[in-house]
Chains A and B, each alone.
Chain A
Amino acid sequence: MTVNSIIEIKNVYKFFGDLAALSDVSLDIKAGEKVVIIGPSGSGKSTLLRSINRLEEISRGSIVVDGQDVHDKSSNINNIRQELGMVFQSFNLFPHKTVLENLTMAPIKLKGIDKEEAKAIAVDLLKKVGINEKANVYPSKLSGGQQQRVAIARALAMNPKIMLFDEPTSALDPEMIGEVLDVMKNLAVEGMTMVVVTHEMGFAREVADRIVFMDDGRIIACEPPETFFTCTDHPRLKQFLSQIL
């Protein structure tokens, strides 16, 4: 265990009935690190990511985020989650709120930030993701790429220490993938700790400090991109890479 790990995943198991979605998964992530998780469908990538903010309860093991045991019943999960921004494949913006309200709602209600200040922060964030002119429209009026950028901004509005992304570009038309990845790359440059499940190998190669390959609920390989793509130690990984590259 490294002292400055902001996420410590230790011997985690997750069972759905008999199915082991996660088997003895351990992973330490340092503050500021960018970790990309790849692997075939059903290998447990989402389950692992969702365990980090307890959207999924784990069966065994422990996950510590910023010194707090996420799955300990005595820890305040709602507070821990404020440190963990999450971006979903299907955006999940609140359709009954304007773009601006999507961003200000949580900071106002959860952090007690006053309305005007929350608005100012939201406007800045919208500028950052390049859609400040859409602040007062409803999400249904936005393209997929715009919605996903708003979703990222919404998560950032809580000023989290860590951002989790679960296939943020998989639901997007190809021409919109770039704009979302650009926002994520900027975030990476600013030093955000990021855990990203994605099939975008270009992004992984460019941004990741480490790439984790999962198969059948296990972490098979965890390497920096330089060695990852040429890694031949693992037959499953070799086969996976030959399919996607």
Chain B
Amino acid sequence: MKDKPVKIEITDGAGIPAKNDAGLISAWWISFIGAISIITYLVVTKPDPYKDILMFVPDGILVTFQVTIFSIIGASIIGLFTGLGRISKNRFFNLIASTYVEVVRGIPLLVQLFYIYYALGRVLLVPDMLSAIIAMSVCYGAYMGEVFRAGIDSIDNGQTEAARSLGFDKNQTMFLVILPQAWRTILPPVGNEFIALLKDSSLVSILAVADILRRGREFAAESFQYFETYTMIALLYLLITLILSKGVSHMEDRLNHYDR
């Protein structure tokens, strides 16, 4: 019943603009306008190679978004079960979930990626893109698990007791009463994870997945214009991340003000 706006901060996250950062002269706007201006300036004044790079990369943007979106979905599903396991009184489920989180947090993301990717791709012959997505999902599922756990924890225990005393069983209580309330707390950090995941998805370029960075590397390898290419790549990532973080902060605002 308590309408405490709980904020979950798990991830290194992205630069979500702070409240007092809302004016026109804010870090966000400076970065945003800056990024757009520089891209425009470079493309207009030096179309060779900057325009060529810009034309070459969009395929990769699509792949980056594909990897990110499917991975966040996968990570959310794993995260939901991990979160449920972490709060479970069942020793077995609890231990599995906790161990998973412990293991994932203890191994560098890149190492996990390589490991899962080669295990799936080389040993089980899962396609590249799919193994990359599964790898990202498994890595991020641990963090998402903490987000779900915190979100579920934020709901007053009285809600569970009210539901149980009406005759709802544990699962009905979780899915009909607790989770529908917890999503308000869960959604903003999921947004943050989404942005963090998008950035980390650049790691899949090392595997055979043609995301933004991979496309850039291909371009650079052919043209030998490494500096120019990576300038463009960095600016593109920045632009995408800035737009997404604005979106997340809007969503956060709306959830906070959401008055029923």
Contacts and interface: CB of A to CB of B under 8 A. Distances in A.
B161 A109 contact: no
Contacts, number: 68
A78 B167 CA distance: 4
A92 B160 CA distance: 9
Nearest to A81: B167
A110 B167 contact: yes
Contacts of B163: 94
Given A95-B3, A109-B176, A88 B158 contact: yes
Interface residues of B, number: 21
B186 to A, nearest CB: 13
Contact of B260 (A53, A91, A96): A96
A72 to B, nearest CB: 17
A81 B166 contact: yes
Nearest to B183: A96
A91 B166 contact: no
A242 interface: no
B3 A140 contact: yes
A221 B163 CA distance: 33
Contacts of A155: 165-166
A109 B177 contact: no
Interface string B160-204: 011111111100100011001100000000000000000000000
A106 interface: yes
A138 interface: yes
Nearest to A91: B1
A154 B177 CA distance: 14
B26 to A, nearest CB: 33
A106 B166 contact: yes
A93 B168 contact: no
Contacts of B168: 78, 106, 109-110
Contacts of A79: 167
Nearest to B177: A94
A118 to B, nearest CB: 13
A55 B166 contact: no
A92 B181 CA distance: 13
B127 to A, nearest CB: 40
B159 interface: yes
Given A78-B169, A81-B166, A92 B176 contact: no
B180 A96 contact: yes
A219 to B, nearest CB: 23
A214 interface: no
Interface in A17-43: none
A12 interface: no
A28 to B, nearest CB: 22
Contact of B1 (A55, A90, A105, A154): A90
Contacts of B177: 94
Interface string A80-106: 011011101011111110000000011
A93 B162 CA distance: 8
Interface of B: 1, 3, 156, 158-159, 161-169, 172, 176-177, 180-181, 259-260
For the complex of A and B, 5 pairs with smallest distance between CB atoms: A92-B162, A86-B165, A92-B158, A138-B260, A82-B167
